[in-house]
Amino acid sequence: MQNFEFYNPTRIVFGEGRIAELNRLVPEQARVLILFGGESARRNGTLAEVEAALGERHVKHFGGIEPNPSYETLMRAVEQVRAEELDFLLAVGGGSVIDGTKFVAAAVNYSGDPWGILETGGRKITQALPFGSVLTLPATGSEMNDGSVVTRKATKTKLPFKNALVFPQFSVLDPTKTYTLPPRQVANGVVDAFVHIAEQYLTYPANAPVQDRFAEGLLTTLIELGPLALSDPKNYDVRANLMWVATLALNGLIGVGVPQDWATHMVGHEITALHGLDHAQTLAIVLPAMLQERRDAKRGKLLQYAERVWGLTNGDEEQRIDAAIVRTRDFFESLGVKTRLSDYNLGSDVVEPLVEQLKTHGMVKLGEHRDVDLATSRRVLEACL
Ligand code: NZQ
Ligand code: ZN
């Protein structure tokens, strides 16, 4: 196991009815900006519950944060916070709203051009406003991590940043708030969490059996619960466990002391930025092709995955790896998430512009061995057709 430092200051307040506890979690004198997305949080009553819990506090709103939050929209929120001298942010929504709130928190007092936050991957952030979240979509893990992904619409640039100053102070996870999710978003969430685990687990053996078994437990739980969340949407226990799995998939714990990949995510970001596919749709397309392309470098872990996650013990090594990749693709498809570029009406002409974007963004040495160069990414994308 590699050396590591683990730090996660986010308080999780989990369970039905716990939004009321915002009264305890948000400072009494806070001047609050509630940030939200489209209309879902208002329509399903989450926003009303949040407002009631905040009581007499000074509260303003910023709505309209879109999926794959844009720099352009978020900068309007930054202006509002500055103009109205607000000092506490509260994200109510999915990963996009929470990620957007992280950017706003860091940008309000950032010295220099706030786009620099993305260009430097968050390394130059020296302060951030305090914020919390009320999660309505289990998927990204943003509610308990210090990462965020923002898109600049003008240039179709989707970049991540990370900084310990943008961990949420707290996140309220009320599983009943996920009952209203459309099937597409439920499935997206399962796929996103699944691929987060894969990015931290499907690398090479690192003598970290606890992280491995934790990752395998999360994967098998997703395989069990994903279909149930779709077939029995008001099942509290299913929703609750799914929500906790998605949080644990990317709160840092399973990634400590082990190599990490993230090539699938970086290639996927370019597909979203150029063609507007949902984040999870891009992952469902890229992961099977990425595993196939890099099967030799990942051999040890792919065999372990085949056996422990999918119970595949018959056949030789190549057959077991093949079967594990097929099972992975079939699982995504069974949830209704398509796994080929052609399923989204994208053809071979999209490959070269995507490779160009990877080059522009410096994504030229990806993966746990830093050997996923542009030629490798091109082969992966061609295999995604
Ligand atoms: O905008 P509203 O009306 O709220 O509707 C949203 C949105 O259309 C809807 N929704 C959310 N909760 C709902 C609901 N509809 C009904 N009932 C509810 N309870 O769902 C749609 C998608 O929301 P979004 O927040 O975009 O989805 P998700 O949570 O999947 O977030 C995706 C974003 O997170 C980034 C992705 O790149 C993408 O931009 N990621 C962030 C990560 C992180 N911070 O660690 C890691 C991930 O890899 C990911 O990259
Ligand atoms: Zn993701």
For residue 104, the tally of other CB atoms under 10 A from its CB is: 31
Separation CA 348–CA 338 (nearest Å): 17
Q: What are the distances in angstroms from CA 25 to CA 130, 131, 169, 170, 334?
A: 12, 10, 9, 8, 40
Q: What are the distances in angstroms from CA 26 to CA 10, 29, 57, 65?
A: 14, 9, 9, 22
The pLDDT assigned to 48 comes to 98
Say if pTM beats, i.e. exceeds, 0.85.
yes
Could you give the percent of the chain with pLDDT greater than 70? 100
Pocket test of ligand 1: the residue of 8, 73, 140 to mutate, having most ligand atoms within 8 Å of its CB, is 140
Q: Give the pLDDT band (50/70/90) at residue 202.
A: very high
- Any idea what DSSP says for residue 182? -
Separation CA 104–CA 87 (nearest Å): 11
Report whether residue 38 contacts ligand 1, using a CB cutoff of 6 Å: yes
Neighbouring-strand partners of residue 205: none
The pLDDT assigned to 109 comes to 96
pLDDT mean across residues, the chain: 98
Q: What are the distances in angstroms from CA 248 to CA 51, 64, 252?
A: 28, 28, 8
Check: CB of residue 287 under 8 Å from CB of residue 195. yes
Question: Which structural domains are found in the chain, ordered by start?
Answer: 11-177 (3.40.50.1970), 183-383 (1.20.1090.10)
Could you report the per-residue pLDDT of 84-117, keeping only the tens digit for each?
Answer: 999 999 999 999 999 999 999 999 999 999 999 9
Ligand 2 centroid to Cα of residue 59, in Å, is 31
Could you report the per-residue pLDDT of 333-355, keeping only the tens digit for each?
Answer: 999 999 999 999 999 999 999 99
Separation CA 290–CA 270 (nearest Å): 15
* Residue 323 exposed, middle or buried by CB count within 10 Å (0-12, 13-18, 19+): middle
Pocket test of ligand 1: the residue of 50, 70, 99, 179 to mutate, having most ligand atoms within 8 Å of its CB, is 99
Q: Give the pLDDT band (50/70/90) at residue 70.
A: very high
Average pLDDT over residues 110-128: 97
Report whether residue 203 contacts ligand 1, using a CB cutoff of 6 Å: no
Could you report the per-residue pLDDT of 236-272, keeping only the tens digit for each?
Answer: 999 999 999 999 999 999 999 999 999 999 999 999 9
User: Residues, the chain, total?
Assistant: 385
Separation CA 91–CA 93 (nearest Å): 6
